Structure 1
Amino acid sequence: MAETSQHPRFDLANERVGTIYAKALYGAAEAAGSLDQVVSELASLVHDVLQHPKLANAVISPRISHDERLVILDKAFAGRMNPTLLTFLKVLSNHNRLYCIREIQRAFHQLVGEKRGRVDVKVISAEPLSEASLVAITARLRETLGKDVEVLSSVNPKLIGGLIIRVGDTVIDGSVANQLESIRRQTLDAAAQQAKDALERFTVA
C-alpha cells in the first residue's frame, strides 16, 4: 500500500512522547479486542478530522482547559468513536499531551505494523512520485527486506533529485544533493592528502 503524506516539522521530544503513548494505546486496544477499529479511527482523526483548523484548535489548543475539552470530546465523538480511543484521548487531555496526537498516530501505526510483520518505509523525493514509481519501489523494498512494506512518501524540493529512504533508524540517502556533498568531501579529502604528502616529502628532504 502506498500512502502520500506531508509530515510536519520533526520534533524529537514529541516523537518520544508519541512512542510512549502509542505503546499504551496498543496495549489497551489489544486488550479490548478493538485494535483494527482503533487503527482506522485514529488515522481518520488525524488525517481527516484534524485537518479542519477550527476543530483541531478546539481539540489540541493548550488554552482550553481539560474540563472544557472533555465536553468537546464527548460532544464530538461519544457514540461515534471506539470507547477505548475516546478514553485514550481524555487521558491525553488530562496529561496535556493532545498536541502530540500526530506523533502518537504515526508511532502507533508503525508499532501495529511491526507487530504484524509490516515495515513502514519513508521515501522522500524531490518531486511527487507517480503511482507506477511507488509500486515499483514498494515491490523492490519487499524483495530486499523480505517483509510486507508500506511506503509513506513525501516531497522535499531541496533534494534536487533522487530519493532518501528511511527504514527505522537506517537512512539511505540517494539524493543528488547528497551525491554532490559526497563528491565535495572526497575532493577536499584528496586535496588534504596531497598537501600532507607534499609536506612529508619536504620534511624528509
Structure 2
Amino acid sequence: MAETSQHPRFDLGSERVGTIYAKALYGAAEAAGSLDEIVAELASLVHDVLEHPALANAVISPRISHDERIVILDKAFTGRMNPTLLTFLKVLSNHNRLYCIREIQRAFRQLVGEKRGRVDVKVTSAQPLSEQSLQSVTARLQETLGKEVEVLATVNPALIGGLVIRVGDTVIDGSVANQLENIRRQTLEAAAQQAKDALDRFTAPA
C-alpha cells in the first residue's frame, strides 16, 4: 500500500529542483529582509491555496501559458503577497517549474530550519503515531542530533511495524518489513552457500 501523509509524494528529480530553487529564494528573501514573512506566505500558498484543485490548476497547470499565468498571479497576489515571493513565482512560471512548488516549499523550510539550528526529520511508521510516541521520538532525535527537531510523521502500512527515519539524505530503516527482508536474504545466501559446499564435496576428487 502506498505511503500516506498530508503532503503529496515527490520524485527525486523534483526534489533536486526544489532544493536548487529553495536556495535561490532563501538568498532573495534574506537580501530583502523578509525571510519570516516569505516562510509563512509560501507555506500558506502550498497548504491553503493549492489544496483547492481549481486554484492549484490555475497556478501550476502546464496547459496555461506563461503570459496567462502572469496575469493570474498578478490578479490573485499583487498587494496580498510579499513582492519578492511574487517575483519568485513569476520566475518559476517562466522556467516552467511551478509544478515543483511543493518541493520548493519543503526544501525552503528545511533550509531555513538548518540555518537556525533546526533539523526536519521524516518519520514513517506502519500505523499513526500517538502524541506520546511522537513526543518520545522527537525527544530522542533531538538528543541524538543535538539540535531542535521538527518531525514530519507519515504512514506506510507496508512497513508492518517499526520506523523509517530520514534526516536529509540519510535513511535509517528500522522497519519490520526491512528486518524480514534482511532475514530472507540471509537465509537465501546461507542456503546457496550450503548448496555450493555440498556440490564442491560431491565433485571433489577422491
TM-score, normalising length from structure 1? 0.93
Residues 50 and 56 of structure 1 are in contact (CA less than 8 Å); yes or no, is this contact kept in structure 2?
yes
User: Residue 138 of structure 2 corresponds to which residue in structure 1?
Assistant: 138
The Cα shift of 1:132 comes to 1.2
Distance (whole Å) between structure 1 residues aligned to residue 127 and residue 60 of structure 2: 32
The Cα shift of 1:129 comes to 1.1
The Cα shift of 1:170 comes to 1.2
SS in 2 for 1:90: helix
User: Residue 155 of structure 1 corresponds to which residue in structure 2?
Assistant: 155
Distance (whole Å) between structure 1 residues aligned to residue 198 and residue 144 of structure 2: 46
Distance (whole Å) between structure 2 residues aligned to residue 37 and residue 52 of structure 1: 22
SS in 1 for 2:152: strand
Write the deviation string for residues 36-87 of structure 1: whole angstroms up to 9, x where unpaired.
1111111111011100000000000111121211121112111111111111
Residues 77 and 86 of structure 2 are in contact (CA less than 8 Å); yes or no, is this contact kept in structure 1?
yes
Distance (whole Å) between structure 2 residues aligned to residue 122 and residue 134 of structure 1: 12
User: Residue 28 of structure 1 corresponds to which residue in structure 2?
Assistant: 28
Distance (whole Å) between structure 2 residues aligned to residue 180 and residue 19 of structure 1: 34
User: Residue 178 of structure 2 corresponds to which residue in structure 1?
Assistant: 178
The Cα shift of 1:190 comes to 1.2
Equivalent AA in structure 2 for residue 157 of structure 1: P
| Unaligned runs of at least 5 residues, structure 1 | none
The Cα shift of 1:152 comes to 0.7
User: Residue 6 of structure 2 corresponds to which residue in structure 1?
Assistant: 6
Residues 6 and 155 of structure 1 are in contact (CA less than 8 Å); yes or no, is this contact kept in structure 2?
no
Distance (whole Å) between structure 1 residues aligned to residue 171 and residue 136 of structure 2: 19
Total equivalences in the alignment: 202
Percentage of pairs with the same residue: 87
Q: What is the RMSD of the two structures over their aligned residues, measured on CA atoms?
A: 1.5
Residues 10 and 103 of structure 2 are in contact (CA less than 8 Å); yes or no, is this contact kept in structure 1?
no
The Cα shift of 1:183 comes to 0.9
The Cα shift of 1:200 comes to 3.0
Write the deviation string for residues 139-158 of structure 1: whole angstroms up to 9, x where unpaired.
00000111111101111111
The Cα shift of 1:8 comes to 2.2
Distance (whole Å) between structure 2 residues aligned to residue 10 and residue 87 of structure 1: 24
Residues 118 and 150 of structure 1 are in contact (CA less than 8 Å); yes or no, is this contact kept in structure 2?
yes
